[in-house]
């Protein structure tokens, strides 16, 4: 017996039990509830704001293709979430997935980023809802708030938005004390929102004019391809740039995966709800962006409220107000979907001792983490009141993309793992979180064994300790190559695709070849054969593509986003170093049996 190294503590993995004895949250949600939650969380800003902004400033009529490309990227991430949601039906989403497959430290990083995603996302929707309503009311609230609570600092809003603060607090109270009732309200709002989207598509189809996809704008200056008309007025590069923006219109479906402990049949309901919600969301975006650009020229769109603007311009004032009301309903449903996962992530991390445990205490009466929910609502309302919408949206993206990347990595590790089933019980009754791989004698990973297994010369059919180690190294190399390939495409795209310079093509070809070689080496390794309700097809190809796309989109974010991300991560790492590292569940469990340190069997 020996004391564990720091590396082993950081990479210790969680073992789960699904016998129901440890469940505290009420299982009251079904597939329809989850689908409505995913659609409601996502189908808000994308329909009522994003389509007009992308069509006017980035893609023109090809915004429909931008949404298609973004949907494909999101669908890859959705497949990975669906498999994990079926295998690991626990609260915590990507946090719990990475804890099961990779280890504690990476799980903390992902959980911390998910908290950033949901809190900032909720704050941005609450602020957007306030601005949307205030626009319809001729800026009445803004005028009054500037008189009552002006803010002089440049990096904040010019006033404290009491409406954004209040709506976040009220919704947080509803989530804390009445989950089932609040879910029913969300379902009703989501169904109504879908009917309004359907109305927009049908009404717009009546006034559609294909000439609007072919005409040339007059007196319009653009940074790219100024004055060009047609379906690609900004070039195909503009379509891809629009896809990067449209991708964030699909952020929100992962809230379904945070509800694992509150679903009646999670192994079937979660995958179905994720895939159904993504399909519905794409059809809505595709339909709205199509009629939007067919009814009114893309260069005349209103970037803040495109749908009411279009119906107002064609003289359909009754439709304008139907859509305006629909925007409020859609944003309320989106706010509910954005706030719903917050306390679930906090609950999961607090239960493991990585953050303060009081945040994860579940009320015996309401079956929800009341204190954690109210704290998340308070933080959301405060940020929504203090910061303007642009600042909030700029802070949203990076945590989501990192979470998507780690989930895809976890799928690769899980599929080729020696012990793939996260529900496999430990042979030790004293430490349920101990990995079974650490409780049995391991085959020693020597250099010769590693290189022999790299090409699977032994033709083994089931994963071993050596093959799992080989896959871990290959996945790490693949991620590094994906970063290098993304940087090459991003910074040398002109030399590759336009100037056709030899050095650029050699560099691109070598990196692409090595990337495909690594995927091939992963694919010939032995795989686990555990039964699962849902499995990602074409592994390792589809998770590999998802990893590359997410990394590329992360590199497109501006430097200020990375700086804010660095500050947030600095706070989180300090919390883990001084609290989570010493108070995680395994350490506390060990101390209850009189152990001063965790024991590992070699």
- Average pLDDT of the segment spanning 60-85: 85
Q: Give the separation between CA 347 and CA 303, rounded to whole angstroms.
A: 38
- pLDDT band, residue 480 (cuts 50/70/90): very high
Q: In terms of DSSP H, where are the helices of 362-501? A: 370-386, 389-394, 397-415, 447-454, 465-491, 493
pLDDT at 377 over 80: yes
The two structure tokens encoding residue 354: 């990585």
- pLDDT the model gives residue 190: 80
Q: What is the largest CA-CA distance in the chain?
A: 80
| CA neighbor of 266 nearest in space, from 40, 543, 31 | 31
- Write down the number of H helices and E strands in the chain: 26, 0
Q: Please, how many CA atoms are within 13 Å of residue 35, restricted to the half-sphere of its CB?
A: 17
- pLDDT the model gives residue 290: 92
62 in Cβ contact with 231 (< 8 Å): yes
- pLDDT the model gives residue 226: 42
pLDDT at 380 over 60: yes
What are the beta bridge partners of residue 600?
2
pLDDT at 555 over 70: yes
Q: DSSP of 69-123, one letter per residue?
A: HHHHHHHHHHHHHHHHHHH--STTTHHHHHHHHT-HHHHHHHHHHHHHHHHHHHH
The two structure tokens encoding residue 387: 């910061």
Sign of CA dihedral 119, 122, 128, 129: negative
Q: DSSP of 118-175, one letter per residue?
A: HHHHHHHHHHHHHHHHHHHTTTHHHHHHHHHSB---TTS-SB--HHHHHHHHHHHHHH
The two structure tokens encoding residue 167: 């709506």
252 in Cβ contact with 337 (< 8 Å): yes
Q: Give the separation between CA 597 and CA 599, rounded to whole angstroms.
A: 6
pLDDT at 222 over 60: no
- Name the residue with higher pLDDT: 9 or 44: 44
56 in Cβ contact with 310 (< 8 Å): no
pLDDT per residue as tens digits for the range 433-458: 444 444 343 455 667 787 888 887 77
| CA neighbor of 546 nearest in space, from 401, 417, 398, 396 | 401
CB neighbours of 565 closer than 8 A, spacing ≥ 6?
116, 395, 398, 399
Give the lowest-confidence range in 28-32, 266-270, 445-449, 536-540.
Answer: 445-449
- pLDDT the model gives residue 395: 72
pLDDT at 478 over 80: yes
Q: Give the separation between CA 244 and CA 57, rounded to whole angstroms.
A: 13
| CA neighbor of 438 nearest in space, from 13, 6, 54, 10 | 13
Output DSSP code: residue 495: I
- pLDDT the model gives residue 402: 81
Q: Model's pTM, two decimal places?
A: 0.78
| CA neighbor of 32 nearest in space, from 215, 240, 262, 270 | 270
Most confident of 49-53, 74-78, 378-382: 378-382
Q: Please, how many CA atoms are within 13 Å of residue 519, restricted to the half-sphere of its CB?
A: 21
- Name the residue with higher pLDDT: 438 or 157: 157
- Name the residue with higher pLDDT: 415 or 138: 415
Kindly state the helix (H) or strand (E) to which residue 333 belongs, with its residue range: helix 317-339
- Average pLDDT of the segment spanning 468-484: 92
Count of other CB atoms within 10 angstroms of residue 270: 29
pLDDT at 464 over 60: yes
- Name the residue with higher pLDDT: 310 or 417: 310
20 in Cβ contact with 254 (< 8 Å): no
pLDDT per residue as tens digits for the range 386-400: 887 666 766 777 777
Q: Is 263 helix (H, G, I), strand (E, B) or coil?
A: strand
For residue 227, give Cα distances in angstroms to 209, 222, 368: 20, 7, 56
Q: Give the separation between CA 309 and CA 533, rounded to whole angstroms.
A: 46
Q: Give the separation between CA 544 and CA 523, rounded to whole angstroms.
A: 11
Write down the mean pLDDT value for the chain: 77
Whether omega before 540 lies within 30 degrees of 0, making that bond cis, reads: yes
pLDDT at 421 over 60: no
- From first CA to last CA, the distance across the chain in angstroms is 7
- pLDDT the model gives residue 239: 84
Residues in the chain: 602
- pLDDT the model gives residue 482: 95
Q: Give the separation between CA 294 and CA 257, rounded to whole angstroms.
A: 36
Output DSSP code: residue 594: T
- pLDDT the model gives residue 223: 40
269 in Cβ contact with 103 (< 8 Å): no
């Amino acid at each position: 017996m020996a004391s564990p190294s720091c590396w082993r503590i950081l990479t210790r993995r969680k073992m789960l039990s699904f016998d129901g004895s440890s469940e505290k949250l009420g299982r009251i949600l079904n597939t329809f509830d989850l689908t409505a939650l995913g659609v409601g969380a996502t189908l808000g800003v994308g329909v009522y704001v994003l389509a007009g902004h992308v069509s006017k400033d980035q893609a023109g009529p090809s915004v429909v293709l931008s949404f298609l490309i973004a949907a494909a990227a999101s669908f890859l991430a959705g497949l990975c979430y669906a498999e994990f949601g079926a295998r690991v039906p626990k609260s915590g989403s990507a946090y719990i997935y990475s804890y099961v497959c990779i280890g504690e430290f990476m799980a903390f990083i992902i959980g911390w980023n998910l908290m950033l995603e949901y809190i900032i996302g909720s704050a941005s929707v609450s602020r957007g809802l306030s601005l949307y309503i205030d626009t319809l009311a001729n800026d009445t609230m803004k005028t009054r708030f500037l008189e009552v609570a002006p803010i002089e600092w440049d990096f904040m809003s010019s006033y404290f938005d009491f409406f954004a603060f209040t709506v976040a607090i009220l919704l947080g109270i509803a989530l804390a004390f009445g989950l089932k009732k609040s879910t029913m309200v969300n379902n009703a709002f989501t169904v109504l929102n879908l009917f309004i989207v359907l109305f927009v598509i049908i009404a717009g189809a009546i006034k559609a004019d294909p000439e609007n996809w072919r005409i040339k704008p007059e007196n319009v200056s653009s940074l790219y391809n100024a004055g060009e008309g047609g379906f690609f007025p900004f070039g195909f590069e503009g379509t891809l740039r629009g896809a990067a923006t449209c991708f964030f219109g699909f952020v929100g479906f992962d809230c379904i995966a945070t509800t694992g402990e509150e679903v009646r049949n999670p192994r079937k309901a979660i995958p179905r709800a994720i895939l159904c919600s993504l399909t519905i969301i794409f059809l809505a975006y595709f339909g709205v962006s199509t009629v939007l650009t067919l009814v009114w020229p893309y260069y005349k769109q209103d970037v803040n409220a495109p749908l009411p603007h279009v119906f107002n311009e064609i003289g359909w004032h009754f439709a304008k107000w139907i859509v305006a009301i629909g925007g409020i309903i859609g944003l309320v449903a989106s706010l509910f979907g954005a706030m719903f996962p917050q306390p679930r992530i906090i609950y999961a991390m607090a239960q493991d001792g990585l953050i303060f445990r009081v945040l994860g205490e579940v009320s015996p009466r309401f079956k929800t983490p009341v204190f954690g929910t109210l704290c998340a609502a308070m933080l959301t309302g405060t940020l929504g009141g203090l910061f303007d919408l642009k600042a909030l949206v700029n802070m949203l993206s990076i945590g989501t993309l990192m979470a998507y990347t780690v989930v895809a990595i976890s799928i690769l590790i899980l599929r080729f793992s020696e012990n793939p089933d996260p529900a496999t019980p430990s042979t030790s009754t004293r430490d349920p979180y101990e990995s079974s791989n650490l409780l049995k004698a391991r085959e020693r990973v020597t250099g010769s064994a590693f290189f022999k297994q790299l090409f699977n010369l032994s033709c083994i059919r089931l994963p071993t300790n050596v093959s799992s180690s080989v896959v871990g190294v290959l996945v790490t190399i693949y991620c590094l190559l994906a970063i290098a390939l993304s940087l090459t495409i991003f910074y040398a795209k002109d030399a590759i695709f336009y100037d056709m310079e030899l050095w650029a093509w050699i560099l691109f070809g070598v990196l692409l070849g090595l990337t495909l070689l690594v995927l091939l080496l992963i694919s010939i390794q032995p795989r686990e054969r555990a039964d699962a309700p849902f499995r990602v097809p074409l592994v390792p190809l589809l998770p590999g593509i998802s990893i590359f796309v997410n990394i590329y989109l992360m590199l497109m974010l501006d430097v200020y986003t990375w700086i804010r991300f660095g500050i947030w991560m600095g706070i989180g790492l300090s919390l883990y170093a001084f609290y989570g590292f010493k108070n995680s569940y395994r350490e506390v469990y060990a101390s209850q049996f009189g152990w001063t340190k965790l024991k590992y069997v070699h």
